[in-house]
């Protein structure tokens, strides 16, 4: 008889298909715990009970312990010493630097502090130039006189300034005057004024009984002016192409000192009458008549037609054209013969720049050419004189 064993198991596949009677919200992998259902009180940290952050709590209570440990550590002591030493050295350097800066500021010459130059004005400097400008009173206006600790207090300058209604200011710093004069030597006197403008002219007129006429340019019209001379005949100085203001100032000084009557400048190629010219001329620029000619060739021709003799300080030579060279050679006159020329009639001494000299067109229109020859054995490196020195020698010879 067959025996059958009764089985009450189900297959695994069928078991998985059986659904629970109650749906659970937890996943099968989650661990079931009853902690959430058991009352639990989390203990507070010490710093939480104190109401502080963890860092502040330990720093306030245990920093001294750490400091003592560091203090007892030789390496930490050396590190602390080095920090203190560097701090002290840095503070010392900073203090010394501040002391030096204060010392420099105390004795500094600040050229930008104080007076500011007026671009519409001119600043005549030097006691002689300022005094001459006030005495001559040729300028349009005098604004202010600045004085700073002069070596010699010139009461005449202050007196004239007061008479002319010029405001006088005593300044505290020499650097203030240096700023007005571009650091030139001013001797403690600076006069703010308008530029001295030379009179434009057309030609030189006739000469008669110690007087002569000059046709001035009065805004396009001819204005004939009469001048007198203390010489037997008048002597004028013509400047062509001289751009160095110191040379012009020295020539003006010599001309006034030696007795020349007036000066004519080429309008387009000569340095203007500036404070540097006034300073170099020691004020003579204010005292001698100065004119300009804008058409030199016409000025030469028309003045010669009225009896004026033109003598140019130049070598009678021309490197390019033989015809011009021969013409210039015929005009050559010896230095010793110059005094005879002024005896015969009025003269104009023509001076040119040291580099280019007098223009050929003016030399051709001159009556005579004269040169000052060097002594025997003089090196070729020194082949000429400064134009102001040569001009003074020629003036002196003409006026003998």
Lowest-confidence pick of 207-211, 301-305, 313-317, 350-354: 313-317
Q: Which runs of E-coded beta strand occur in the chain?
A: 122-125, 142-147, 167-170, 189-193, 199-208, 211-218, 221-228, 235-240, 262-266, 290-293, 309-313, 347-352, 368-370
> Which of 304, 299, 306, 223 minimizes the C-alpha distance to 264?
299
> Which of 346, 321, 363 minimizes the C-alpha distance to 261?
346
Reported confidence tier of residue 111, pLDDT bands at 50, 70, 90: very low
339 token code pair = 């005094």
> Any idea what the Cα angle at residue 154 is, between residues 152 and 155, rounded to 5°?
135
3-class SS at 7?
coil
Residue 339: alpha-carbon gap to chain centroid: 45
Q: Cβ(125)–Cβ(177) under 8 Å?
A: yes
* Residue 324 to residue 363: CA distance in whole angstroms: 10
What pLDDT digit, counting tens, does each position of 244-280 carry? Answer: 999 999 999 999 999 999 999 999 999 999 999 999 9
Q: Is the pLDDT of residue 5 over 80?
A: no
Q: Is the pLDDT of residue 2 over 50?
A: no
Bridge partner list, 142: 193
What pLDDT digit, counting tens, does each position of 372-395 carry? Answer: 988 888 888 888 899 999 999 999
Segments making up each domain of the chain, as ranges: 122-193, 199-373+384-398
Report the sign of the C-alpha dihedral through residues 151, 153, 157, 158, in that order. Answer: positive
The continuous run of DSSP H or E covering 165 comes out as none
What pLDDT digit, counting tens, does each position of 315-340 carry? Answer: 877 666 677 778 888 899 999 999 99
Pick the CATH number of 199-373+384-398 from 3.40.1280.10, 3.40.50.1100, 3.40.50.11440, 3.20.20.150: 3.40.1280.10
Q: Please give the C-alpha separations between residue 380 and each of 373, 374, 390, in angstroms, as whole numbers.
A: 12, 10, 17
The CATH fold of domain 122-193: 60s Ribosomal Protein L30; Chain: A; (3.30.1330)
Bridge partner list, 263: 237, 290
* Residue 366 to residue 301: CA distance in whole angstroms: 9
More confident residue, 286 or 318: 286
């Amino acid at each position: 008889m067959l025996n059958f064993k009764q089985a009450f198991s189900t297959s695994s596949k069928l078991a998985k298909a059986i659904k629970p009677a109650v749906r659970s919200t937890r996943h099968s992998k989650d661990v079931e715990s009853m902690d959430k259902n058991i009352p639990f009180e989390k203990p507070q940290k010490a710093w939480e009970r104190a109401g502080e952050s963890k860092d502040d709590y330990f720093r306030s209570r245990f920093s001294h312990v750490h400091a003592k440990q560091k203090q007892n550590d030789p390496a930490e002591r050396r590190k602390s010493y080095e920090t203190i030493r560097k701090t002290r050295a840095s503070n010392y350097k900073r203090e010394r630097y501040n002391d030096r800066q204060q010392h420099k500021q105390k004795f500094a010459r600040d050229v930008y502090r104080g007076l500011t130059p007026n671009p519409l004005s001119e600043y005549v400097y030097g006691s002689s130039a300022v005094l001459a400008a006030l005495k001559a009173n040729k300028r349009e206006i005098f604004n202010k006189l600045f004085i700073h600790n002069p070596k010699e207090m010139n009461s005449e300058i202050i007196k004239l300034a007061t008479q002319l209604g010029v405001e006088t200011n005593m300044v505290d710093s020499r650097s203030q005057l240096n700023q007005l004069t571009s650091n030139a030597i001013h001797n403690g006197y600076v006069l703010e004024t308008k530029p001295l403008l030379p009179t434009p002219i057309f030609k030189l007129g006739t000469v008669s009984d110690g007087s002569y006429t000059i046709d001035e340019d009065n805004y396009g019209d001819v204005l004939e002016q009469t001048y007198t001379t203390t010489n037997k005949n008048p002597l004028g100085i013509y400047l062509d192409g001289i751009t160095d203001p110191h040379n012009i100032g020295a020539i003006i000084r010599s001309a006034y000192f030696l007795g020349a009557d007036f000066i004519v400048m080429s309008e387009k190629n000569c340095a203007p009458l500036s404070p540097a010219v006034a300073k170099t001329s020691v004020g003579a620029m204010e005292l001698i008549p100065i004119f300009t000619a804008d058409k030199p060739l016409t000025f030469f021709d028309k003045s010669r037609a009225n009896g004026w003799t033109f003598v140019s300080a130049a070598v009678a030579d021309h490197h390019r054209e033989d015809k011009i060279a021969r013409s210039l050679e015929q005009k050559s006159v010896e230095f010793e013969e110059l005094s005879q020329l002024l005896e015969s009639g009025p003269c104009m001494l023509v001076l040119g720049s040291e580099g280019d000299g007098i223009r050929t067109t003016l030399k051709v229109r001159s009556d005579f050419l004269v040169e000052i020859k060097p002594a025997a054995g003089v090196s070729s490196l020194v082949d000429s004189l400064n134009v102001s020195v040569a001009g003074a020698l020629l003036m002196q010879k003409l006026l003998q």
